[in-house]
Amino acid sequence: MAAKKKPQQRKGFRTNEQIVYPAHGVGRIVSIDDEEIAGAKLELFVINFEKDKMTLRVPTEKSEHVGMRKLSEESVVKKALTTLKGKARVKRTMWSRRAQEYEAKINSGSLISIAEVVRDLYRSESQPEQSYSERQLYEAALDRMAREIAAVLKLDEESAIAKIDEFLSKSARAIQAAQESEAAAQAAA
């Protein structure tokens, strides 16, 4: 596999740029290489996912097909954070079906869809414990969301998680207050 350096921009992406690869989250393009694989010459984005200690090679021609995209704009980040304030929407279907839907949203690469999963699977201290699989999906979605928010807002991941938690806990407190006032109104009636 002989690699030769190419100009450092292809398909609107350039080296040293952070991007979102739907199945893995935020990564950095470290180079754009020409490689010969099975007798065919391919131009590849070499993407490093530092946190996962993984390097991915994506043919430049397939980047759009696999959903590779630039980081979200700040307006999309604000909309995602606002999504966290909404009421959790949990369908009354079997867990296995919901889990598949959550997994699809996480791997869609859409920050808003990921925020919906975080919102729907969030549990405050006053709520019952999550099952192991719910917790795994929640943490995967939270990690994906935090990495992109950290990259867009130029924060560290811990600060991004704290920001997400702040929005989630505000929402949980508002819902709890509404439930308590409704219960008080019913008791008074």
CB under 8 Å to 170, separation ≥6 — which residues? 85
The C-alpha R_g of the chain, in whole angstroms, comes to 20
Q: For the chain, 189 residues long, give each residue's pLDDT as a single digit of tens.
A: 445 554 477 677 888 999 999 989 999 999 998 888 888 888 999 999 988 899 999 998 888 888 899 999 999 999 999 999 888 888 888 989 999 999 999 999 899 999 999 999 998 777 778 889 999 999 999 999 999 999 999 999 999 999 999 888 876 666 566 556 666 666 666
* 0.85 exceeded by pTM: no
Give the residues across from 161 on adjacent strands: none
Q: Which amino acid is at 126?
A: S
The residues pairing with 49 across neighbouring beta strands, listed in sequence order, are: 54
**Complete domains list, the chain, with CATH:** 4-70 (2.40.10.170), 74-188 (1.20.58.1290)
